[in-house]
């Protein structure tokens, strides 16, 4: 019985480590993007400011942030779902997150 519990504990621990690694990949992808420099200026945090990045558990990341619009720096809310690699290609185009070609 103890071996079963230890095995289940180890499996849960490894699954948790995998989730943390993917979340780190999501954050790293966002940091590499050019959008991270002009999005999120409403607060403190990753890149230019605030960004909420979550691992959805299926290889996808969910990002919520604000992106500036032109020289007035008014913000627009943005949400984006994609892989860490896709997040790294995001650009801020007039306040809207778009994937670079």
pTM: 0.68
pLDDT (0 to 100) of residue 16: 45
Q: Could you please report the per-residue DSSP string of 65-80?
A: EEEEEGGGTEEEEEEE
pLDDT (0 to 100) of residue 73: 66
3-state SS assignment for residue 45: coil
Domains of the chain: total: 1
> Which pLDDT tens digit goes with each residue over 68-90?
887 766 778 899 999 999 999 99
Q: Which residues contact 19 (CB under 8 A, 6 or more apart)?
A: 55, 57
Q: What is the CATH number of the domain that holds 13?
A: 3.30.160
Asked if the model's pLDDT at residue 44 lies above 50, the reply is: no
For residue 9, the enclosing domain spans: 2-99
Distance (Å, rounded) from C-alpha 47 to C-alpha 38?
Answer: 8
Asked if the model's pLDDT at residue 63 lies above 90, the reply is: yes
């Amino acid at each position: 019985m103890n071996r079963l519990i230890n095995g289940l504990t180890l499996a849960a621990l490894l699954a948790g480590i995998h989730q943390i690694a993917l979340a780190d990949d999501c954050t790293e992808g966002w940091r590499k993007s050019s959008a991270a420099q002009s999005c999120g200026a409403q607060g403190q945090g990753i890149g230019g400011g605030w960004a909420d990045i979550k691992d959805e558990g299926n290889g996808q990341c969910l990002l919520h942030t604000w992106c500036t619009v032109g020289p007035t720096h008014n913000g627009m809310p943005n949400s984006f779902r994609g892989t860490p690699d896709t997040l790294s290609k995001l650009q801020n185009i007039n306040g809207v997150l778009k994937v670079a070609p």
